[in-house]
Amino acid sequence: MASPSASSSTSRVSVLVIYTGGTLGMVYERKTGQLIPFNFERVLDQVPELHRLDFDMTLITLRDIIDSSNMKPANWIELAQIIRKNYDQFDSFVILHGTDTMAYTASALSFMLVNLAKPVILTGAQLPIGVARSDARENFITALEIAAATRDGKPIVPEVCVYFNSQLLRGSRAKKQESVHFNAFHSENYPRLALAGVQIEYNTPYIMSGPVGGPFSIRTQLDANVTILKLFPGITQPVVEAILGIPDLKGVVLETFGAGNAPTYSWFLEALKNASDRGIVLFNVSQCEGGRVTQGQYQTSKLLQQIGVVSGADMTTEAAITKLMVVLGENVPETGDDDRIESRRQQQARLDRIRQQLATPFSGEMSL
């Protein structure tokens, strides 16, 4: 990874661009017709309009350029560390990312970057930058403009966001909805933060105002011993018990029906209770893209509440699973009285703390 250096200019905004891989940085190989990565350090050859932007831009790449389908927590940690290392040298950050897991990365970073006071904008493309009809140029250029935008000397959007197809979305609210159209991302349960047309119109009341206090820091302890259990009519006892019986499993995101409802089969509720009693944290989100989990509204969800399942309110699955990783990673088991195992009292206190943190907004990812 190249080591960036900020511009010596004191009057111009400086933006650090971090390239991770993805369709945006691909070109077609003439002989085979296959998509191959191009040397992204020569991005100015593909997007000459960047010369006309009125701010300084520095480009670096991840240690290993990857397809976003291969994105994992270690990559999120690397991104967070890059931002921390360069936080004082740059005014904002743009991350170029493949679309398939962009919402996961945006959600993860929104929880990992603590007391963030600068824009972190993720963007990408549905078509490679070398294609005539590519959406890459507009997405890249406008993401840069939003990252560099200030009002009264302060950044307009001091939070983690996804910019795509003229829309700026909160990172922890974004979800990929399209694989073939340019409007790839949406935010069903929270308004867009900006709309780019002839002018960029900011939806200021819905944008975070920045941290109240405390220095910028990062969370880097993530626990990936989690999974997603999507319910469906006819789900069987062996399937549920096999998933909940995964060795070293720490947490499960339950994708339930409607407003957070699940089957009331005795075997199903018993399987969840046994998992909860073993210290597995259960986090409830709806399979519906719009609306929210309201545990207790119906008898089916009230039973989940009694078991200790945490309501994810109106969170996306992407936000729920990444928040679960972060919260579990920040709350590792304590040593018990014999200095070898966690006591029952310590375990219960830790699980209560985890459940409380999951139910508390970190970065605007949920509405209470």
Q: How far apart are CA 104 and CA 60, in angstroms?
A: 21
Q: In the annotation, is 23 catalytic?
A: yes
Q: How far apart are CA 12 and CA 20, in angstroms?
A: 25
| 68 marked among binding-site residues | yes
Q: How far apart are CA 137 and CA 132, in angstroms?
A: 10
Greatest alpha-carbon pair distance for the chain in Å reads 67
Q: Are 207 and 193 in contact, with CB atoms under 8 Å apart?
A: yes
Q: Which pair of structure tokens corresponds to residue 182?
A: 């340019």
| 142 marked among binding-site residues | no
Helix 317-330 × helix 344-358 angle, to 10°: 140
Q: Which pair of structure tokens corresponds to residue 307?
A: 């078991």
Which among 20, 23, 123, 300 is annotated as catalytic?
A: 23
Radius of gyration, alpha carbons of the chain:
22
| 135 marked among binding-site residues | no
Instruction: Specify the residue for token string 């979800």.
Output: 175
- Which segments are annotated as binding site for substrate? 68, 99-100
Kindly list the catalytic residues: 23
